[in-house]
Structure 1
């Protein structure tokens, strides 16, 4: 036995050398828009999502992956690694006619990946500001951008409110008339793959899909999958989920056919919980998009890779927050995040099932809504109103009581290990825990910057830009 020990040591050292010399992986970061907890096949067997289900079951399902209550703040987290209350984007989403933006003093993930040799491409929804060219994707680290600046555009006409919103890099772009936007995003993603060498180049492909945000629109063949659903809008919404699933399947097949999957990591996440008021569903979680409840902030997510994950085929229950993707992916790419960011490197947790690198996170701090939330360990504290949608919303066509005007105590406390669906406020039973969490929340409040939520500006109107939503007015 003694004679084999030197050989074992040599083998371990050789593996360490090989790991140190391994090429950084291709990173494909896919964001679904407004996808509910109960709107994927691994949580609800009534949903038809075979491609997502397959990757989730063979990769790692992230069962405690937290996002922001709405989309702009979550996208800020992915892009900067900072909580929105540190960048001024904590209050709802950026509206088309308001000069909100992600401050340029915060480097973005593609800006940090660029010196590491990555080719950075984005297809889909930006929603991080566009009033000045300096706030748009190709000025924030992306080599190419195809998509739209705002949210909620028509899937066929690319119109939102009174203007057209679709770009190829800096130019207004009109895809083939009547082409569904999910297909536009898929086709462009495959086109990008054909421009990158999978062996000699590193690809960062950011795919923030429009799906499944309203307006509720989908080709009929997807809606027909759910012919058993009697509620038209729920049937359409579910069809949109299946259209997204097909798109992800086509993109994954293209990655595999072109050799990218030999060294690639796919991240899939939603940007917030499902908006139950537009026919998504978060059961058994409480609440909706826009709220601090788990239904608004605990997002469906998974990671998949053919060969980069040490432990696969299981559900990971460790705590992960949206700000963690920035340092996690940057470290995986061979870079180092700046000191002081809010995110932490979760690669050991994601790849091997190690304990989470965090025991605490802030749900949000919104001085305009006068609400906030924090979690430490198993406990969650909500300050102020959690939001307007506070029920455990059943699947349509059932109706649910309207809790939009419910009143709540100043502070609510929940034990998420014992009560993950937030039925029992235990604040009166545990004043010591409330005090501890409130102290930490106040610590974070002291670091908050004011929300960047200016009034509407008529200079933004599409009539000033040939009918298009365009930069150049702030």
Structure 2
């Protein structure tokens, strides 16, 4: 008698293996706001960020992960896979009373993921336009939204300027009075995890935290962690980083307790360099948020997974840009990015340490500020003024000039391999390299769309909407 298993058994087993191998992972994309290069424990042992440090060191620290100089443009990159100068969001940020927005003709990452069967949620900061409902999160691919439309609001009262700014989906929402923003966000994230089946469903959870953007506000117990720092603003800022770390720890514990980590990828990144002019620090990098220097554009970042990374526990120095997350995550989810997108799939680089899929990227092209920067290989070319914060800001209580009044040549060239801290402009000694990079920059400039930076519209006044920042005025 033949005792071998029936063929049907093998067919079912093969199907199970194929299904298991092909099952897309849960994706948790965490964005810190205004986090400096030197404001995380894996770069600075004076920072208390145990939860982030543990994942960074066990996962892959991304040492050459680039973002935009300010917030709205970076979020544009994450959401579309296109450079801001291709969407009109290359200049500054969307201010509350200005009718700026991410154009509706761009398909967002959550919209693509929903087509693949993902459930999609956002908790935190949007900052991609809200003057019309069609520009708000639940009209751009998210099943739910809890958070705020603008930036720089109060962490406890959720007031920005003269209006209240906090929503649950499309309704004005009031979290428990006095609850700190980082805790509100983490509690909602856990609530979402309780509503999703980790085996049956695929989750995309986008967590753009308010932390650690100004205003500098944090419960005293976090500030007290840094009692040895004499400068209050720096003490507060560091406390805000530790509060963010604790919130992320609560979320990752919930992910593990509920079984999500069996098949999940966590991405952590800042949206821009740290604002040294408030209390952040980017040492040893030069410059700050708002500038084209490395301190404004090279972001603290890592990826972590229990089982999806082929190579982990190391620092990856390959070139990655914010626009790459869209095609990378979409490909990982089983989708196919559109042809012509600025971003490239970096999963082989992120997961196994393969060489980067790109050899160049554009820092920005700003037709209003009349400046730009590009990197090709080891070289970086800056055209025009890099910005207003041009120095290497030491940790408080020391002070250093931000070199506000320094005049710069029209073009500066840096070899970031030999000089990652941008001390030595080598443009005059390398005219051939300058010429090559100018040619590449000209190529990209030819594809730029004008910046959409409209003036303030009085119709936006919260008084017209019951005291709330609200859509419906453009």
Query: 1:404 Cα shift?
Result: 1.4
2-side partners of 1:354 and 1:135: how far apart?
37
Query: Partner residue of 2:409?
Result: 409
Query: Partner residue of 2:453?
Result: 453
Q: Secondary structure at the match of 2:277?
A: helix
Query: 1:20 Cα shift?
Result: 8.0
1:179-218 aligned at under 5 Å gives the runs: 179-218=179-218
Query: 1:18 Cα shift?
Result: 3.8
Q: Does 1:224 align with 2:228?
A: no
Query: Partner residue of 2:8?
Result: none
Query: Partner residue of 2:10?
Result: none
1:19-418 aligned at under 5 Å gives the runs: 21-418=21-418
Contact 2:388 2:402 in 1 (8 A): no
Query: 1:16 Cα shift?
Result: 13
2-side partners of 1:16 and 1:168: how far apart?
39
Query: 1:231 Cα shift?
Result: 0.2
Query: Partner residue of 1:438?
Result: 438
Contact 2:392 2:402 in 1 (8 A): no
Q: Secondary structure at the match of 1:122?
A: strand
Q: Secondary structure at the match of 1:374?
A: strand
Query: 1:42 Cα shift?
Result: 0.5
Contact 2:158 2:164 in 1 (8 A): yes
Moved over 3 A (4+): 14-21
2-side partners of 1:367 and 1:405: how far apart?
22
Q: CA RMSD in A?
A: 1.3
Contact 2:73 2:90 in 1 (8 A): yes
Q: TM-score, normalised by structure 1?
A: 0.96
2-side partners of 1:19 and 1:291: how far apart?
47
Query: 1:21 Cα shift?
Result: 4.0
Q: TM-score, normalised by structure 2?
A: 0.96
Instruction: Give structure 1 stretches of 5+ with no counterpart.
Output: 1-13
Q: Secondary structure at the match of 1:278?
A: coil
Contact 2:365 2:371 in 1 (8 A): yes
2-side partners of 1:370 and 1:327: how far apart?
30
Deviations 1:355-406 (A, max 9, x none): 0000000000001000000000000000000000000000011110241121
2-side partners of 1:258 and 1:38: how far apart?
33
2-side partners of 1:173 and 1:387: how far apart?
37
1-side partners of 2:357 and 2:16: how far apart?
23
Query: Partner residue of 1:6?
Result: none
2-side partners of 1:424 and 1:44: how far apart?
25
2-side partners of 1:17 and 1:440: how far apart?
46
Deviations 1:271-317 (A, max 9, x none): 00000001100000000000000000000000000000000000000
2-side partners of 1:121 and 1:329: how far apart?
15
1-side partners of 2:360 and 2:387: how far apart?
22
1-side partners of 2:180 and 2:17: how far apart?
47
Deviations 1:106-141 (A, max 9, x none): 100000000111000000000000000000000000
Q: Secondary structure at the match of 1:303?
A: strand
